[in-house]
Structures are given as structure tokens and as C-alpha cells.
Structure 1
């Protein structure tokens, strides 16, 4: 099993990635603002099931591939560094869209469609796939035991972090949208803070060794 310090660092990385705007967050906030909290929660349920798909695919896939082709660790590591730096740039990009400016002209959907769209939004989300592919190998160590069990432990941790953050966003979406609309200065603070953390994670990943 993973050491507590490593798991805590991974949880921090998962937190930073989940608060960086992406398809999941934009969809959940849009639904919550447009159709209410229940719609946001139904969409979130679909998103969480989508995480299970990614965890199963990545856990079994990485365990097999990294065991047979060790040099792929270095390739995945540098792809992960590049992706983190890209997210950092997107966070401060003046042309980027702030997540609480999400679409508010969506039509009302049925509970089944809300769940299905949440599921598909996550399954087809490249941000989630890139996070798993680039971060899992950095924390999975043979000396800590079965790589598959470590991967599943990381996946469960990421799901708990993501659920906690997104659940809070769904409940507070309308209030936060109004707050940022009246306090645009805090948008800049949030963007630069997020970019700084992403760069720090990229540097940490670049220095890590197999």
C-alpha cells in the first residue's frame, strides 16, 4: 500500500486538477445554474460512474504496459509535465473562459439524460485520461506492493477528492456565480493561484524518478 505522505501529495494533485476548469466542471456548474441543484447532483452521479471506467481502464492497462515496457514511464512523465504546463497557461490565458461564465441557455433534461450526459462527459474527457496516465506512474512503486492495488487506491482517492469538490460546487454554483460577477478581482487571484500550483506540480513531476 502507498505511504500516507505519498497519498496526501497525490490527493493535493487531484484537488488542483479537479478545480482547474474542464468539461466535467463546466457541465456540472451549467446544469446546476440552469436547472437546479438536483439536476447538478444527477449529472454528478453520472460523472462519478465515468471515473470508474477510467480507473479500471488505466489500472489494468498501466500495470500491464509499464511491466513490459519500462521506458514508457519516462515518456508518460514528460507528457504529464507538458500537460500540467499547458493547464497552467490555460489558467491565466486572457482569452480563456471562466468556469462560472458557463452556458445558462441549456434546455431542461430528464433525469436519465442528465445522468447519461454526466457519464459521457467524463468518459470522453481527455483531462481525466491525461491525469490518470501522467500521475499514476509517478506514485506507483514496486516496493510498496501490488501495482494494481496501488493504482486502485489512487483511483479511489481521486474519486473521493473529485466528488467532494464537485458536490460543493453543485450546491454553491449559483451563489459563487453571483459572487464572482460582483468581485472580478478574485477571478484573477484564483487563476494565478491555480497556475502557480500547476507549475509546481510540473516541476515536481519533472524531478521524479522511476
Structure 2
């Protein structure tokens, strides 16, 4: 596996986007376990795009204006819904003001599943991710590669592992300063508004995205 692939992937993964924003939000509102669950969900959300690229379905999104638009506006609607939830302290981004250790202890299976499912949906409903896989990974597969699909799977798994690791680090860092934030109502109000604005801005950017 080339260093150029690893370096390029790290830059792509570490760049702020919906997954990073959601992981940070989960960490600051629900604690460190929630941040790991969010990172895991965002990573799982990559799988359908990886499969789409391997099966050629991503090419349909690239060539079909209707298919791209349908998935894109579903993603926009979901990001706006996330913005509303962040603003209203609802769903997976509801603030748990208890100490981080206690919040983690009370993060039950149902809450964890909600965080994971939200992370999956955030990435599934982003058509640009399928097109990214279609355009990005083939650049690192040699023209004379004997098993291109196997190679693409290998690169995809490496990309997903890096995604989980980077997102988890983001989340754990945010969770480490959580106690200093949740005890300050004004800071929490500003934080909720910032996350809501962030999700809304990402939704607007996706709405303006072209194939």
C-alpha cells in the first residue's frame, strides 16, 4: 500500500465534514462512548458507497442527474433535520449534563444504536461519497493489477480503518474537555447553535453540489 494513498486518505479523512462534526457533537453532548459509537456509525456508512463503487453503481449517480438529485436532496433534508435536533437538544444530540463517566455508564444499548444509526445515515445520504470512491480509489490501482476488485477492497478497508481511528481521536479529545463545557449553560447554548449552523451549512453545500 503506497504512502501517497495513506497520506491522501489522511488528509481527506481529517478534513472537517459531516462525519467529523457529528462525532464532535456526540462527544460533547453525550460523552466518550457516544463519540466512539458515532465514529463507528460514520465508518459503517462508508460501506454502501464502497460497494456501489465496486459494483459500478456509483457510475449511475455520476451519469444520472435524477438519481444524484434524489439522493442529494435526501441528504440535504437529513442534515437540516440534524441541525434542528442540535438546536432543540433532541435525538442522538440531546445533551446529557452528567459527568462524563456517569454519562458513559448510562449510554445504554438503545442510545448507542441511535448514535450509530445516525452516523450511518449521515454518510449513506451523501452522494458525493460514492463518486469520491469511484474517482479516488482507482487512481491507486495499477493498470496491470491482476485482481482490481480485491485491491479496491483492500484500499477501501484501509480508508475505513483510518476514518474510524481519526474520528475516534477527534471524539475522545472533545469528550476530554466535555465537563468544562456542559457545566456552563451559555457555552452549551453557543455550542448547540454552532453545531446547528454547521449542519445547516453542510446541507447548503451539499444542495449546491454538482455531479
Q: CA deviation at 1:153?
A: 1.2
Q: How many residues matched? A: 138
Question: 2:172 is paired with a residue of what secondary structure?
Answer: helix
Q: Partners of 1:126 and 1:37 in 2: how far apart? A: 29
Question: 20-29 or 110-119, which moves further after superposition?
Answer: 110-119
Q: CA deviation at 1:134?
A: 1.9
The partner residue of 1:107 within 81, 85, 90 is 90
Q: Partners of 1:60 and 1:44 in 2: how far apart? A: 25
> Runs of at least 4 residues of structure 1 off by over 6 A?
none
Question: 2:45 is paired with a residue of what secondary structure?
Answer: helix
Corresponding residue of 1:165: 166
The answer to whether the 8 A contact 2:40-2:164 is kept is: no
1:42 aligns with 2:13: no
Q: State the TM-score, normalized to the length of structure 1.
A: 0.57
Q: Partners of 1:143 and 1:58 in 2: how far apart? A: 19
Structure 2: runs of 5 or more not aligned: 64-85, 93-110, 181-211
Question: 1:144 is paired with a residue of what secondary structure?
Answer: coil
Q: 1:45 to 1:15 in 2, by over 3 A?
A: same
The answer to whether the 8 A contact 1:34-1:104 is kept is: no
Question: 112-121 or 132-141, which moves further after superposition?
Answer: 132-141
Q: 1:19 to 1:104 in 2, by over 3 A?
A: farther
The partner residue of 2:47 within 52, 56, 59 is 52
Structure 1: runs of 5 or more not aligned: 66-71, 76-102, 179-210
**What CA deviation, in whole Å up to 9, does each residue of 1:118-145 have, x standing for no partner?**
1101111345334312211211223122
The answer to whether the 8 A contact 1:46-1:116 is kept is: yes
